[in-house]
Every structure is written in C-alpha cells, then in structure tokens.
Amino acid sequence: MKLQRKNMLRASALGALVVSGALVLTACGSDDNTKDNGSASGKPAAATGDIKCDDAKGKLLASGSSAQKNAVDLWVKAYMAACSGVEVNYKSSSSGEGIVAFNQGTVGFAGSDSALKPEQVEESKKVCTGGQGINLPMVGGPIAIGFNVSGVDKLTLDAPTLAAIFNDKIKKWDDEAIKKLNPGVTLPSTAIQAFHRSEDSGTTENLGKYLKAAAPEAWTYDAAKKWPAPGGQAASGSAGVASQVKAVDGAIGYFELSYAASQSIKTVDINTGAAAPVKASADSASKAIAAAKIAGTGSDLALKLDYTTKAEGAYPIVLVTYEVVCDKGNKAETLPTVKSFLNYTASDAGQKVLSENGYAPIPAEINTKVREVITSLS
C-alpha cells in the first residue's frame, strides 16, 4: 500500500485539478491513519487553527466506502493534529459493510456511495434513539472504466455495449459492436476478462444505476450493491479490481478514477450521444454532478443524479459519497467528536484541503445545507 500511496502522490504532484461545482474521488485500501498522508504539493494538510475541536474527545470509529478513503485520510491527519487527545479511525471496507456497522451501533458515522434505502433507514431507528439515519453528501466524482488490451491505447464504449460486456454477452474485444464504436482502432480477438466487486459496494450500485438508466434493454437488473450479472470474475475492493485489470491482458473493470491515475490504467471514453465521447475526469464528472438535485426530505440530503445526460463534456458514470449519521439519538460520548469532525470536513478549510490536493469542494449550495444539518445533530 505504501507503493500505491507513493504512486498516488506522484500523480497528484503533476497538478491539482480544481473544479468548481464538482468533486473528485480518490481512494486507497490502507486503514492506517498514523502514516504520513500530507499533500503532494508539500503544503500542510490544513491550517490547524481553522479546526474547531469544541468538546471532541476520545476515540471516534467510522467505516465504509473505500471511494472516499484518501479524502478521509487528509481530513483525519489535519483534524488529529489540531485536536490533541482525539483519535479518528476510519476503516475502509465497503459501503455495505459501513451501513451494517452503523446500524449495529458500532461506529459514529459511516461512508456510503449510495443513499440509505428505506429499510436501512427503518433499521437505523433502533440505534438512533428518537431519530434515524440521514445522508450527508461530502465527496463525489467519476467511476472510471479501466481496461488493459494489448495494442489498444484508446477505447470508446457506449452504455449498451458496456452492459453487454459486463453481462457476459460480448466475449471478444474484436466484437462488431466494439469495432463500430472504434473506427480505425485495431482490436485483437483477445477474450474479454470482466472484473467486478466481490462484496456489497456502492460503486457497483452506482454503475448499475447508470447501466439501468442508459441501457435498460441490455441491463435488466435492478441497481444493487451486490453484483447481479452472470459471468465475470470477482475481486475485493476497488483496489482488487484495479490490480486485476492492471495485471490481466484483455481485462476491464470499474473503480474510482484515482486507481487508474495511480496505476497508469487506461480508461474508457463514454459515448453518451453528445458530439464527442467523454473521458473520465474531474471536469467531465463535474458537469454531471453539478446538475444533481436534493431528493431527500428534512435533514436527509440524498441526491438524485442524471445518469442519462447527453450534455457536452458531461461524464455520466458518477457517484457521490455520503457520511451517514443519526439526525437525533447519536451516542452522547461520540456526538461532540462527530459534529466537530464533520463540521471541519464540510468547512471552507476542509474543502480547501481537497482542492489543494487534486480533489474539489462540494458545490456551495449543497454544502451550505450540509453544514446546517451537522450543526443540528443531537
């Protein structure tokens, strides 16, 4: 993991992408928050004087989405430097595992790449005394489709073709459907090796939402955290999928863009029906995420994304990671730390940390509401 982090920092040093109104995901598999996670630019992770520790104390456990792990690492490093005696430990596992831990009452908050489902909200009422679990959008960005095909440096796919590949219907890279989308590209007859997540994953669910919305005839499965289609090969976590794609000729898989950047994995351009295919990037994801609408009610700030966008330069396969907390009924011993830490991550200083390290801040209109909800947590 040290090598992976070094590769990530090297990639980040090439130039931070600061995108207004959008968010960039990076991820990493390590759970050790004690190691140096400072910025690639050499700047401190944050001005610790900007962090208000308030009554924070003791140890705060959190877990869930691996998609936001690198972002959390930056926040945790700055926060713990400012708040002496406070320990924040975020376990990078998966969205599904994070929600399970939250609803079992073993963590102060969870990270999830998809909003709580009604049955999960109902279950949360057992641990959120007098309240329920809510979704606070904090980080977001593109889901890259990585590929490794010898001799092919650039590849374009559309939703129906991508769905057929992951549904085990297209089995060779020189299939006519792929050739039609890639005129002038010499495609080998190499067998396609499709990789997906082995565990419940919000990244899987968001890819499923895109395929279901953009290619309903080719992808007939309901979006879910568990991989629904036959065939393919499973790997653990985004790191596992990326490693397989990197190692196997003929491979294709999905993961947060940071994995592609850190391991020099080529990514698919998506034909959305716009004038030109769209590459996965901070800027292209921003064009899709900026159009998100708040779908939650009350304190819940779950967002509705448009996976069928045909806007020029808008990359449609995106996700938003939420911090899941109780609106009421948080544990008294961890509530001050939860509020203090999340107040920091949603603050100007916390968001600036992201923009200075190759990420981008949450759109101001949404983030203002996030801050208001955090203040109201009880």
Angle at 110 between CA 317 and CA 19, to 5 degrees: 40
339 touches 375 (CB < 8 A): yes
pLDDT of residue 324: 98
Per-residue pLDDT of the chain (378 residues; tens, 9 = 90+): 434 444 443 433 333 333 333 333 443 333 344 334 333 333 444 556 679 999 999 999 999 998 788 789 989 999 999 999 999 999 998 899 999 999 999 999 999 988 999 999 999 999 999 999 999 999 877 899 999 999 999 999 999 999 999 999 999 999 999 999 999 999 999 999 999 999 988 899 999 999 999 999 999 999 999 999 999 999 998 889 999 999 999 999 999 888 898 899 999 999 999 999 999 987 788 788 878 889 999 999 999 999 999 999 999 999 888 999 999 999 999 999 999 999 999 998 887 766 555 455 677 788 899 999 999 999
Alpha carbon 332 to its chain's center: 29
Q: Cα separations (Å) of 329 from 124, 127, 134, 286, 369?
A: 10, 7, 12, 35, 20
pLDDT of residue 259: 86
pLDDT of residue 223: 93
**What percentage of residues in the chain have a pLDDT greater than 70?**
85
Radius of gyration of the chain (CA): 20
357 touches 280 (CB < 8 A): no
Angle at 360 between CA 354 and CA 366, to 5 degrees: 110
For residues 39 and 34, what is the distance between their CA atoms, to the nearest angstrom? 15
Q: Cα separations (Å) of 345 from 199, 301, 322, 339, 371?
A: 27, 16, 12, 10, 10
pLDDT of residue 14: 36
pTM of full prediction above 0.75: yes
pLDDT of residue 291: 82
Long-range contacts of 179-186 (CB under 8 A, 24+ apart): 181/156, 181/157, 181/271, 182/154, 182/155, 182/156, 185/152, 185/154, 185/155, 186/151, 186/152
**pLDDT, averaged across the chain:** 86
